[in-house]
Structure 1
Amino acid sequence: MGLHIGTKQARVGVNDTSASGSGSGHINLNMSGVELLAGLLAGHRKNRLQSTSHTRTPLSSPPNKSHIEGYVNFLGITNKHDTLNILLEYGFTSHKVLKLSGLLQSDVRELGLTLGVVMVLFDNVA
């Protein structure tokens, strides 16, 4: 798309000849139209860059601390005191242990945790 700026008008080349009534393949814009177009394009680019950065980051993430207490607090488990006691009693000091491929949800469930708590613990491990 070529932009030819004169003193008071700009000609923007387009590939589609049906874009203008004369079939010339050009749209005539005055300077305020060019400024409007430039502003829209700049805003579109800015929004695209911002939306790209938002899609790459999760809505929320576990705490940077790897200890299990921070993870349980992050999850908002209602009975966190009992949940923490059970996890710590069986050696779960880090939420990262829940990512291990050999650890099954059924094994953790047998420790005395509810199914809902076990599912939340496993589903939110990053």
Structure 2
Amino acid sequence: MVGKDAAAKLRSVPLSNYTIRRRIEDMSADIKSQLLERLRGSKFAVQLDESTDVSGSAQLIALVRYPWEGRIQEDFLFCQELTGRATGEEIFNVIDMFMETGNVSWENCIAICTDGASCHDRTQ
């Protein structure tokens, strides 16, 4: 369909598992870097949900909304396993660590939205 020259160029592109994995990791890091840069320069709101995966591990999912180029943008912020109990304190610690690692100021966070489910000690 594209000709012999184009086919030869496509064959020269490395497609090993390592190469593909590295490219995906590089793209992911670039997207995360761009998002964190946007959050450092604007006000934003975070939406949280805690869910249990098929292995029984609690996962915290965070979405973020912020103004960008005259529109409200919504992006996936992170998904992080909750290693301890899914208490409000544990959830805060996960978010706080993400903010600190990403050098994002809490002063830019204007709202946090949850599903309203209570946080309690699951060991009792």
If the TM-score is normalised by the length of the shorter chain, which range does it land in?
under 0.3
Larger of the two Rg values belongs to structure = 1
Whose relative contact order is higher, 1 or 2, with alpha carbons under 8 Å and at least 6 apart? Answer: 2
Q: Tell me which protein shows more strand as a share of its residues.
A: 2
TM-score, length of structure 1 as denominator length: 0.25
Q: Tell me which protein shows more helix as a share of its residues.
A: 1
